[in-house]
Amino acid sequence: MTRDTPEDAEDTQDDRPVADGGSDTAAGADDVALDPWGSSTVSDYRKLFEEFGIEAFDEVLDEVPNPHYLMRRGVIFGHRDYRPVARALREGEDAAVLSGFMPTGDPHIGHKLVFDEIIWHQEQGADAYGLIADLEAHSARGLSWDEIDDHARDYLLSLLALGFDPEAGELYRQSTNREVQDLAFELGSNARFAEFEGIYGFDGETSVSHMQSVVTQMADILSPQLDEPKPTVIPVGPDQDPHMRLARDVAARMRYFKVTEAYASFEADDAERDHLAAAYAALEDDVETVRCADAADWLDAEMAPDAARDAAMEKLRAAGAEPLRPRVRFLDRNATDEAFDALVEAVPGEKRRYDEHVDAFEMDHEAAEELAREVEVDNGGYGFLPPSSIYHRFMTGLTGGKMSSSVPASHISLLDDPEDGYDKVQSATTGGRETADLQRELGGEADDCPVYELYAYLLAGDDDEFATEVYEECVGGERLCGGCKEQAAELMREFLEDHQEKRAEMEAVLEDLDIDLDSDRRGIPGDGH
C-alpha cells in the first residue's frame, strides 16, 4: 500500500549501476523508523534486513520470470516471502497482486513505482487489484469526501494510462466494497488494541475510525484470497512494513490449523526442537527405538547448557520412555469439530490423535500445509496463505533530501504540465562537481544524484544499457551535468506529454467502470489521531 508522503532514495551493494548508483545510505535520512502515516525515511536499508526480517531481493531475482527493470536495477531491494509468488508466475499458477493508494494529493512519479509493479505482475498472469484507501484518507489524514473523490479519479486515470487492464483486474474503493468490510469485521476479532499500541503507537487519543481503517487495510491485503487461497504480493515502500507484518500475523490467527514439526507428544518451541532434532539424529542409528529419557541423557552429556537445552531436557525426562520420533503436527487453532474430524480422516498413513492436535508420521511439512488448507477451505474456513511483499527504495527529492508532495519543486506530479516537468528537472540538484574541469577529472557522483535516479527509476524505461551508459559516463567524467539534465528534462517532458494523452483517453474507460467516484458520504474528517 502506498501513501502520499516523502520518498527518499538509496541503493544496493553490487557493482552494477542501480537506482542511485550503489550507495547504502541517503544523505540526511533518519535512522530506521517505520511509520505508515508519517514521513519515514531509511538511512540504511541493511538495517531492515537485520531488524525486521526483510530479505534482499537479489536472493530471489533469478527465480523471477522476466523481471521488471525495477527489480533488475535494485530499486526493488527487498521482499518478504516472495518465492511462492515467483514460483506461481513461473509455473503459470494462480497468484495475485494488490496495492492501495491513499488519495491525499496528486499522483507523482514516486507512486508510478507501485503502478508499474502492479501492472507488471498483471502482465505476468497475476490477478491484479488496485484500491483507493478512502477510509484511511478520511480517518487518518482528515480529507473530506469531496477531496477524496477528486484525487481518487486522478490516481485511477494514471494507473489505467500506464497500462492496468481493468477487464482483467479489479479497481475498488474501500468504502464501497462490501466483501472487504465483512472480512474486516471478522479480522477485527483477532486484532487487539495492545497490538496497535505496540506497532503503531496508538494511544487513548487515537480515534476508533483510525483503528478501524487499519483492520480494513488488513482485509484489503487478504481479500484476493477470498475465493481461494493463492500467493499474493503487496508492493510497498518499507515504511508500510508494519502493515504487512500485522497482516501476516492476522492471517495466521484466522487459520483452523497450525502445522509444525514435532518429536514427541509434548509441545516445544523452535529452539527446543533444534535440540530434540540433534538428539534424535545422534541416537537413531544406535538403537532400535530412541526414547525421550535417552535423548535427555545425550543432551546432558553432549550439549552446552543453555535455557533451550535445559527446557528440552526437562520435557524429555517428563516423557520418560515415550519414543522420540520426527512427525508433522496439526495444532487445532480455530477448527470446528467437523473440520477437526475431517482432518483426522484425511491424514494418510500412521497418525496419532490427541485432544488438540494430530500427529502424522508419514507426511512432510509441505504436504501437511496443503492438506490443512484444503480441509479448512472445504469446511468453511479461509485457508489464507501469508501475504508476501516487495519493497522499493524511496526516491530523493529533486531539490535534495526528501521528496514531498507539500514541496512542489521536490517532486514531479503525473499531472504536471510537461513544460513544468521540464523546468523542474532543469532546476534539480545534481551529483556534479564544483566545476566542469573537476567533473572531467574526478567524475560525477551519480550515487548521490536525483537526476540519475530519474533515469534509473523512470526515464531509461526497460533499457538497462542506456541506464548503465548514463551512470558510467557520469562517474567517468564524460557526462557533464548541464547536458545530462537537458536530456533528462526532454525525456521527462516527453513522458508527461504521452502520459497525459493516455490519461485523456482513459476518461471514457474510467466512466464505464463499476466504481463510484462521486461519493454521497457525509461526515467530519478525522484529525489524524
> Who has greater pLDDT, 60 or 526?
60
Question: What integer pLDDT is reported at residue 118 of this predicted model?
Answer: 98
> For a pLDDT cut of 70, what percent of the chain falls above it?
90
Q: Is the pLDDT of residue 57 over 70?
A: yes
Q: What is the DSSP letter of 260?
A: E
Reduce the DSSP state of residue 296 to 3 states and report it. Answer: helix
pLDDT value at 15 more than 60: no
Distance CA 134, CA 212 (A): 12
DSSP for 17-77, written as a single string: --TTSS-SS-TTPPSS---TTTT---S-THHHHHHH-PEETHHHHTTSSS--HHHHTTSEE
Give residue 11's pLDDT: 38
Query: Which ranges constitute the DSSP H helices of 205-262?
Result: 208-222, 241-253
What's the confidence (pLDDT) of residue 43? 55
Which pLDDT value is given to residue 105?
84
For the segment 84-89, the average pLDDT, to the nearest whole number, is 98
User: What is the arithmetic mean of pLDDT over 238-253?
Assistant: 92
Measured at the alpha carbon of residue 3, what is the angle toward residues 122 and 239, in degrees to the nearest 5?
95
Q: How many CB atoms lie within 10 A of CB 233?
A: 28
pLDDT digits (tens, 9 = 90+) for 495-514: 999 999 999 999 999 999 98
- DSSP β-bridge partners for residue 330: 259, 358
**Cβ–Cβ under 8 Å, residues 251 and 223:** no
Distances (CA, A) of 461 to 215, 458, 464, 506, 517: 36, 5, 8, 22, 31
Residue 229 and residue 384 in contact, taking contact as beta carbons nearer than 8 Å: yes
Smallest CA-to-CA distance from 292 within 274, 266, 260 is with 266
**Same fold? 89-254, 408-512:** no
**In this structure, which topology does domain 408-512 adopt according to CATH?**
Tyrosyl-Transfer RNA Synthetase (1.10.240)
pLDDT at 330 over 80: yes
Q: What is the pLDDT of residue 2?
A: 53
Lowest mean pLDDT among 23-37, 194-208, 455-469: 23-37
CA distances from 41 to 28, 285, 313, 369 (A): 9, 54, 46, 37
Per the CB < 8 A criterion, the answer to whether 343 and 374 are in contact is no
Please determine, for residue 438, whether its predicted confidence score (pLDDT) is greater than 80: yes
139 band by pLDDT with thresholds 50, 70 and 90: confident
Q: What is the DSSP letter of 291?
A: B
Order of all β-strands in the sheet with 257-262: 257-262, 327-332, 357-360, 351-353
Which set of grid coordinates corresponds to residue 227? 475465493
Mean pLDDT to the nearest integer, 235-264: 93
- Alpha-carbon span 499 to 501, nearest angstrom: 5
Name the residue ranges covered by the structural domains of the chain. Answer: 89-254, 258-378, 408-512
**Each residue of 261-282: pLDDT tens digit?**
999 999 999 999 999 999 999 9
pLDDT of residue 132: 94
The string of pLDDT tens digits covering residues 25-46 is 322 223 444 444 344 445 566 6
CATH annotation of 89-254: 3.40.50.620
User: For residue 35, what pLDDT is reported?
Assistant: 43
